Amino acid sequence: MQALCQQEENAYRIEANYLNGLPAHQKKVAQRRAKCRAAMVNWCITVVDYLEFERDTVATALSYLDRFLETDGGRACLTTPRQFKIAGMTCLYTAIKAHEPEAIEPDLVVELSGDLCSVNDIEAMERTILKSINWRVNPPTALSFCRQLVTCIPSCLVSLQDKSSLLDLAQVQTELAVSEPRLITTPPSILALACIYNALESKHSEMETLDDLSRLFSVALSSSRNHDMDAVFDVQDILDDIIRQQNEKEEDSCIVPASAEQQHSEEEDAARPVQESRDHPSRSSPRKEGVTSEDKKEYATINVSPSTFKYEVAEAA
């Protein structure tokens, strides 16, 4: 825990939100970059899920990206949409290389990007990023703090089964937090505490247990200068807001109004004689055959391609 705190406060600290550091006349650029950053996170999550890697690797990649964009070498990417996207994809490529058991080739990144860039672009950007962040590629993530904090909890306070559930709930929140621009400068330890407290509250933990755990976490993070409960409460509010927005999106996606053409088609189907269904009892579509490795690769190329970034190019033009 002490090593994580030292890393967080020194080598891997993000001093300022680079989106807020843009001049006033570039406010719209900052808003577009925030949207593009969120889209990049979604793209990265889709890639790691498809490749069956850890989602925490996305948090590592975003640590590279955020620290890079703070530097002189990275600021140019803020005003160049294409370079911003290449930087984001390169950070994921490098994070996978550093933290996953198996690396991926740069030409796969190019393919998954929808040929947005070339292999030379990826390799050149990787050199620029690594030089700018001084080759610091092992950042502490909020999930790493969550794991350490949950491990510290004695079984007399939280059972082993409940600790596993607690960590799962906290991990979901760390994944949602990665794309939130308001949390770019939030120390991972603060984010981890907010996720754990939210998880405990969602499980209706007793106040006495919460007080005991608060004292326990204070001792565990005693070497950290970032241990500020007011900051933790603020992050809890942001996480609550993120979860509420996420739930609203999921609810909206379940309600798809039918078009006039669809409604007309449904009315015609309903008006057809019942005899037709008797004459043709089986009209189901044929079962899809097994998916080959080539099909799987094609599926990833089509669905992982960051087509959601197209609005960025149009607005920047």
Q: For 22-59, what is each residue's pLDDT tens digit? A: 666 667 777 888 899 999 999 999 999 999 999 999 99
Q: Do residue 78 and residue 193 come from a single domain?
A: no
Residue 173 domain-assigned (yes or no) = yes
Q: Do residue 47 and residue 63 come from a single domain?
A: yes
Q: Do residue 209 and residue 126 come from a single domain?
A: no
Q: Do residue 115 and residue 24 come from a single domain?
A: yes
User: What are the tens digits of pLDDT across the range 189-239?
Assistant: 999 999 999 998 887 667 777 788 888 888 777 767 767 888 999 999 999
Question: Of 89-103, 120-134, 202-216, 266-280, which range is least confident?
Answer: 266-280
Q: For residues 158 and 184, give the distance between their C-alpha atoms in angstroms, rounded to a whole number.
A: 31
Does the pLDDT of residue 171 top 90, yes or no?
yes
pTM equals 0.77
Question: Of 14-18, 132-136, 148-152, which range is least confident?
Answer: 14-18
What residue type is 272 in one-letter code? Answer: R
What's the Rg (C-alpha) of the chain?
23
Q: Do residue 216 and residue 181 come from a single domain?
A: yes
Q: For residues 291 and 280, give the distance between their C-alpha atoms in angstroms, rounded to a whole number.
A: 29
Q: What percent of the chain has pLDDT over 70?
A: 77
Q: For residues 129 and 133, give the distance between their C-alpha atoms in angstroms, rounded to a whole number.
A: 6
Query: Quick one: how far is CA 243 from the chain centroid?
Result: 13
User: What's the domain range around 243?
Assistant: 142-252
Residue 196 domain-assigned (yes or no) = yes
For 223-248, letters b (16+ CB in 10 Å) and e give ebebbeeebbeebbebbeebeeeeee
